[in-house]
Amino acid sequence: MKKSLKERLAILSDAAKYDASCASSGTTKRDSSASGGLGSTEGSGICHAYAPDGRCISLLKILLTNFCVYDCAYCINRSSSNVERARFTPEEVIWLTLEFYRRNYIEGLFLSSGIIRSSDHTMEEMVRIARELRTIHNFRGYIHLKSIPEASAHLIEEAGLYADRLSINIELPTDAGIGQFAPEKRPDNIRRSMGNLRLKIEEMAEPTLQTKRRKKFAPAGQSTQMIVGADGANDATILGTSARLYGSYGLKRVYYSAFSPIPDSSRNLPLIKPPLMREHRLYQADWLYRFYGFDIGEITAGGVNGMLDLDLDPKLAWALGHRDRFPVDINRADREMLLRVPGFGTKTVKGILSSRRFRRLRLDDLKRLGVSLKKVQPFVVCDGWTPHRLVDRSDLRAMFQPKPEQLSLL
Ligand code: SF4
């Protein structure tokens, strides 16, 4: 008996939850009329995503289908899996998106899919959904489309005309890992797709002599996802791959998704989930690389066997390994060094640099900027405060280690 739309929505939204790459950062809303308060967000298939400005948005996050002709060992939807299968038609996805949007449940759509028949056939259906939403139904919400591996370049290019963001999952940090666990995928093809997409995004962003206006083409750029803990790659390898992806393909984000053991999985896969804290530390390290001027080698050098320290955030771990660089005089240090002080975010550093043009700063000024004094005191000097030898104390690491009640993520 054919499953009802509601049953299929339950299956295909649950199947989509393994994809972490659905934040909608880096774009603006297409329709100011949709800026009213959000309605219920309790429905099946609705996920929350956070933009960098802290705005929380709701997306309908679903798969077009969880049937798949590929057999990636780490994936619940692989062809050899016993999972319950379902499929939407493009018309059903369009209808669901419009209904949820009109009821103010969502601000956009995140659409991925298993591969049915062929990569091109699947990608064609996904592009059709985005095209009809935009051109027939005048849908102004956010659209994030997953690009299907091996899909033709012209289809991915067409997707960029209608989607705000496109993403192609690299899934594993090394070609050897992809070869072992996703033998039908070609890492070269994934990188080629990313490269083509980057060129197209840059080309379309250039104003032409005739229009002098930028054309809209995947304005929120491209992103990818890496699974953490499925293969043996350490954090240094994962972050090194991320750095190459950011540098070579202009990715907006690399998302890290802690591997979840799945039923009937390959015997080569681990039986346990890596600690969620590992995923969290990778995000922190990724942030240091992109916004704080650290290179990957600096971030991972202090760890054991290329792994980040789970007990301390990577910036604090770096500072404790480089105590000779501290304390930092917040009234004189340059931006680069201020960004390396544990407890200082980019906004704090901006606030320090602008405030100190008018007067010399004290600890109270840091407090006003929202800084945790307990965290920064060993690392800074300012008017009225010097930490003396505090930064050299042998128990400094223990002072910052999480208490037992804070270990829920470990
Ligand atoms: S191609 Fe995608 S959906 Fe299909 S098995 Fe691989 S990861 Fe899963």
**Of 95, 82, 77, 128, the residue nearest 5 (C-alpha):** 95
CB 321 within 8 A of CB 342: no
CA of 71 from ligand 1 middle (Å) equals 7
With a cut of 80, say whether residue 54 has pLDDT above it. Answer: no
The end-to-end CA distance of the chain, in Å, is 44
Separation of alpha carbons 132 and 52, rounded Å: 29
Q: Ligand 1 atom 3: the closest Cα is on which residue?
A: 114
151 lines ligand 1 (CB under 6 A): no
Using the mean position of ligand 1's atoms as its centre, give its distance from the Cα of residue 357 in Å. Answer: 55
Contacts of 343 (CB under 8 A, 6+ apart): 371, 372, 375, 376, 379
pLDDT at 214 > cutoff 90: no
Poorest-pLDDT segment among 91-95, 145-149, 381-385, 388-392: 388-392
- Rama region for 272: left / alpha / beta (φ>0; ψ in -120 to 50; rest): beta
Read off the pLDDT of each residue in 202-207 and give the average, rounded to a whole number: 82
Residue 50 has pLDDT above 60, yes or no: no
Q: Is the CB of 63 under 6 A from ligand 1?
A: no
> Does the beta carbon of 78 sit less than 6 angstroms from any atom of ligand 1?
yes
Tokens of 371: 């800084």
Kindly report, residue by residue over 244-260, the tens digit of the pLDDT: 999 999 999 999 999 98
Closest listed residue to residue 222, CA positions, set 113, 147, 172, 171: 147
Question: What are the E-state strand segments in 92-242?
Answer: 108-112, 142-146, 165-167, 222-228
Structure tokens at 162: 């209608």
What local confidence, expressed as pLDDT, does residue 29 receive?
47
Helix (H, G, I), strand (E, B) or coil at 188: helix
Residue 235 contacts residue 307 (beta carbons within 8 Å): yes
| CA of residue 255 to ligand 1 center, whole Å | 17
When the pLDDT of each residue in the chain is averaged and rounded to a whole number, the result is 88
Residues 93, 202: Cα–Cα separation, whole Å? 30
Alpha helices in 66-146 (DSSP H): 90-102, 119-135
User: How many Å lie between the centroid of ligand 1 and the Cα of residue 315?
Assistant: 35
Q: Which atom of ligand 1 is nearest to the CA of 68?
A: 4
- Maximal C-alpha separation, the chain: 76
Closest CA to 396 of 366, 376, 382: 376
Q: How much distance in Å is there from the Cα of 79 to the middle of ligand 1? A: 8
Q: Distance, CA 114 to ligand 1 centroid (Å)?
A: 6
**Is residue 70 predicted with pLDDT exceeding 70?**
yes
Chain-centre distance of CA 228, in angstroms? 13
pLDDT digits (tens, 9 = 90+) for 275-323: 999 999 999 999 999 999 999 999 999 889 999 999 999 999 999 999 9
pLDDT score at 27: 47
Atom of ligand 1 at shortest distance to CA of 66?
3
pLDDT of residue 44: 62
Ligand 1 mean position to 184 CA, how many Å? 10
Q: Is 284 in the pocket of ligand 1 (CB under 6 A)?
A: no
Confidence of residue 184 (pLDDT cuts 50, 70, 90): very high
Instruction: Look at 17-21, 173-177, 403-407 and tell me which has the smallest mean pLDDT.
Output: 403-407
Q: In testing the pocket of ligand 1, which one of 17, 18, 71, 75 has its CB within 8 Å of the most ligand atoms?
A: 75
**Smallest CA separation from ligand 1 atom 1, residue:** 70
Answer whether 318's CB lies under 8 Å from 324's CB: no
Output the pLDDT for position 317: 96
The amino acid sitting at 372 is S
- For residue 75 and ligand 1, the question of a CB distance below 6 A is answered with yes
- Residues 314, 300, 277, 83, Cα dihedral to 10°: 150
Tokens describing residue 330: 């917040």
Q: What is the pLDDT averaged over residues 23-38?
A: 42
- pLDDT at site 391: 82
| 242: Cβ contacts below 8 Å, ≥ 6 apart | 226, 254, 286, 289, 296
Q: How far is CA 223 from CA 77, 128, 139, 263, 340, in A?
A: 21, 21, 22, 28, 27
Q: Whose CA is nearest to atom 2 of ligand 1?
A: 114
Portion of the chain with pLDDT greater than 90, in percent? 71
Write out pLDDT tens, residues 329-346.
Answer: 999 999 999 999 999 999
pLDDT digits (tens, 9 = 90+) for 107-139: 999 999 999 999 999 999 999 999 999 999 999
Give the model's pLDDT for residue 30. Answer: 47
362 pLDDT higher than 80: yes
11, 77, 121, best to mutate for ligand 1 pocket (most atoms within 8 Å of CB): 77
pLDDT at 36 over 50: no
